[in-house]
């Protein structure tokens, strides 16, 4: 059993790893034997995360890397350095941002901003990873973080859902193009996840009503609770491990049943909290 889901000797890059899902992936992968590289714009966050992992495990297996995934030069240089030092076995394309609003309130600038991170950023990181994996000749794994919005309509998420639909299409394209080079690619599709962003968002916008607002956000989930980042990390561990060698080009909902269960609340409670969509459209959320 000790060898089940082992990542011993693997080298993994996780983007968006300063907190939330990415940080939990990095911690769990390191516990299973991987050497992990935490990528994020937040340099202090990834440095602190790497320090926390190394302290918890009593060994230097984590490195924080400040990198803007939307900038090709930064991505190429960061990936190239890691590839030269020992190769890249795993990429978790997890960095992403969100947007609330329908097409009436969403602006072109909103689309450009979210596309830049959620599509361009994934593309640039996948391109750099594939280049390194092909050159090494040992294959590898790319795991994209999509959303339940990749698979199921969600009210007032036109911009966000568009990018997450593209994430799913990019996943199947990568899997198709590189299967014969031993590179697998899959997509995790989470529902609403309880990350530090959620707590900060509620605290900032609803002082004194934190518990009420948290309950409303959680009620969108059929099981009436948000996912914890470690639950996403557990699914990720399976998909990047050798136990999933025959799994590629697939989407994995982990959403409490949003996609697969007939849930009566097929709407987003953000609209209840924000009668004005003009206000709601300016809010950024991470599912």
22 lies in a domain? yes
The total domain count for the chain is: 1
Q: Please, which pLDDT band fits residue 198 given cuts at 50, 70 and 90?
A: confident
Does residue 264 have a pLDDT over 80? no
131 lies in a domain? yes
In the set 160, 220, 238, 267, the catalytic residue is 160
Q: Which domain holds residue 265?
A: 11-280
Do residues 46 and 39 lie in contact, with contact meaning Cβ atoms separated by under 8 Å? yes
Task: Give me the percent of the chain exceeding a pLDDT of 70.
Answer: 91
CA distance 6 to 242: 8
56 lies in a domain? yes
pLDDT of residue 188: 98
6 lies in a domain? no
114 lies in a domain? yes
Q: Please, which pLDDT band fits residue 200 given cuts at 50, 70 and 90?
A: confident
CA distance 14 to 29: 10
Higher pLDDT, 22 or 276: 22
Does residue 68 have a pLDDT over 80? yes
Check if 160 is active-site: yes
2 lies in a domain? no
- Tell me the pLDDT tens digit for each residue of 207-228: 999 999 888 888 878 888 999 9
4 lies in a domain? no
pLDDT of residue 56: 98
What six digits make up the tokens of 108?
A: 């072109």
Smallest CA-to-CA distance from 118 within 155, 162, 177 is with 162
Of the listed ranges 3-7, 85-89, 239-243, 281-285, the one predicted with least confidence: 281-285
Is 86 buried (19+), middle (13-18) or exposed (0-12) by CB count in 10 A? Answer: exposed
Phi, psi at 154, each rounded to 5°? -130, 130
CATH label of the domain that carries residue 56: 3.40.50.720
pLDDT of residue 237: 98
Do residues 63 and 252 lie in contact, with contact meaning Cβ atoms separated by under 8 Å? no
Phi, psi at 63, each rounded to 5°? -135, 130
286 lies in a domain? no
Task: Report the pLDDT averaged over residues 251-268.
Answer: 75
Distances (CA, A) of 232 to 47, 147, 196, 265: 22, 11, 15, 23
Q: What is the mean pLDDT of the chain?
A: 90
Does residue 285 have a pLDDT over 70? no
Beta-carbon contacts of residue 231 (< 8 Å; ≥ 6 apart): 254
């Amino acid at each position: 059993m000790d060898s089940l889901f082992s990542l011993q000797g693997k080298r993994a890059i996780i983007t968006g790893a300063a907190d939330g899902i990415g940080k939990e992936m990095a911690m769990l992968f390191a516990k299973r034997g991987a050497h992990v590289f935490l990528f994020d714009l937040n340099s202090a966050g990834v440095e602190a995360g790497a320090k926390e992992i190394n302290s918890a495990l009593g060994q230097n297996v984590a490195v924080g890397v400040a990198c803007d995934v939307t900038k090709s030069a930064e991505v190429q240089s960061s990936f190239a350095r890691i590839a030269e030092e020992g190769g890249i076995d795993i990429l978790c394309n997890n960095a992403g941002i969100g947007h609330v609003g329908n097409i009436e309130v969403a602006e072109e600038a909103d689309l450009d901003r979210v596309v830049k991170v959620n599509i361009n950023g994934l593309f640039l990181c996948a391109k750099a990873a594939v280049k390194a994996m092909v050159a090494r000749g040992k294959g590898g794994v790319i795991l994209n973080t999509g959303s339940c919005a990749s698979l199921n309509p969600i009210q007032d998420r036109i911009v966000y859902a568009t990018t997450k639909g593209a994430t799913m299409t990019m996943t199947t394209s990568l899997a198709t193009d590189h299967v014969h080079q031993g590179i697998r690619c899959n997509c995790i599709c989470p529902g609403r996840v309880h990350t530090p962003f959620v707590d900060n968002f509620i605290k900032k916008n609803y002082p004194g009503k934190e518990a009420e607002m948290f309950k409303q956000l959680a009620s969108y989930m059929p099981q009436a609770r948000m996912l914890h980042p470690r639950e996403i990390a557990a699914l990720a561990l399976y998909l990047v491990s050798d136990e999933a060698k025959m799994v590629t080009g697939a989407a994995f909902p982990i959403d409490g049943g949003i996609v697969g269960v007939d849930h009566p609340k097929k709407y987003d409670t953000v609209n209840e909290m924000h009668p004005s969509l003009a206000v709601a459209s300016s809010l950024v959320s991470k599912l």
